[in-house]
């Protein structure tokens, strides 16, 4: 008789689990990429009520699709009661499980390739009334540390090349600006016009041609004629 009552109680309990009120669970992030040796953090949250007294959270990993026939591998079973949490089951050493009244966190430290998969949290509140739900899942990708290092080096060199190209363009532009300014600041050559006693600008012809009439009345020619006349007069006086 006792066995029958126990089986009936278990049947009612399992029926309540599947027929209980739905609990909306939000799980973030949807996807997560971590370099091998790094850390990963997954969070599940839900709307808690003031009367909630006991909460259970199961963390599971699915190495295949979550819709596969198997129920996934249990990482931990954490229970919250009397305003404190307790980890009941754990299958990974380098991990941490934090459970509050309305939120649960999963921390994976020093991840490796075997940790890749889909992580899902299943939440059950069984006091004062049964409510259950589960997250939408987080897909964890674990990348090779060597490939990430190579990609980082490539990005680093691309920044260097871009910086050098900008610097070279700046130097060339500066040189061109200096040359243009220097050319504009050069003084304009002034050439003497002895005919009219003023200065004229003659950029195309550095040497101004003097006409025959100008040569006739050129000051330098007048000076030479005067010196010749003086010499002739001196010679006549001596005679």
All structural domains of the chain: 2-143 (2.60.40.10), 144-206 (no CATH)
Q: Decide: 85 and 99 in contact? Cβ < 8 Å.
A: yes
| 193-204: pLDDT as tens digits | 444 445 444 444
Maximum mean pLDDT: which of 196-200, 208-212, 227-231: 227-231
Instruction: In whole angstroms, give the CA distance from residue 93 to residue 109.
Output: 9
Structure tokens at 31: 């996807």
Instruction: In whole angstroms, give the CA distance from residue 148 to residue 155.
Output: 10
Is residue 140 predicted with pLDDT exceeding 50?
yes
Altogether, the residues listed in the chain come to a count of 239
- Beta-carbon count within 10 A of 103 CB: 14
What whole-number percentage of the chain has pLDDT above 70?
Answer: 62
Rounded-to-10 torsion of CA 125, 74, 64, 19: -30
What is the pLDDT, as a whole number, of residue 208? 53
Q: Which residue has the higher pLDDT, 189 or 110?
A: 110
Mean pLDDT of 214-239: 61
Range scoring the smallest mean pLDDT among 6-15, 52-61, 125-134, 206-215 = 6-15
What is the pLDDT, as a whole number, of residue 50? 86
Q: What angle do CA 69, 75, 79 make, to 5 degrees?
A: 110
């Amino acid at each position: 008789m006792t066995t029958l009552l126990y089986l009936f109680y278990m049947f009612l309990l399992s029926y309540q689990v599947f027929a209980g009120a739905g609990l909306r669970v939000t799980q973030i992030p949807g996807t997560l990429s971590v370099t091998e040796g790094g850390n990963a953090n997954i969070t599940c949250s839900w709307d808690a009520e003031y009367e909630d007294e006991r909460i259970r959270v199961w963390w599971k990993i699915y190495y295949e699709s979550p819709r596969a026939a198997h129920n996934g591998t249990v990482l931990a079973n954490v229970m919250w009661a009397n305003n404190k949490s307790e980890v009941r089951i754990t299958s990974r050493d380098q991990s941490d499980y934090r459970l509050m009244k309305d939120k649960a966190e999963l921390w994976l430290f020093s991840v490796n390739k075997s940790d890749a998969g889909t992580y899902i949290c299943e939440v059950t509140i069984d006091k004062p009334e049964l409510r259950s739900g589960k997250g939408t899942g987080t897909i964890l990708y674990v990348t090779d540390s060597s490939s990430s290092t190579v990609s980082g080096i490539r990005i680093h060199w691309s920044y260097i090349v871009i910086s050098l190209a900008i610097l070279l363009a700046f130097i060339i532009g500066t040189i061109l600006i200096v040359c243009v300014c220097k050319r504009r600041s050069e003084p304009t050559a002034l050439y003497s016009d002895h005919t009219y006693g003023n200065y004229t600008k003659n950029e195309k012809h550095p040497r101004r041609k003097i006409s025959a009439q100008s040569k006739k009345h050129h000051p330098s020619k007048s000076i030479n004629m005067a010196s010749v006349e003086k010499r002739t007069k001196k010679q006549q006086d001596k005679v």
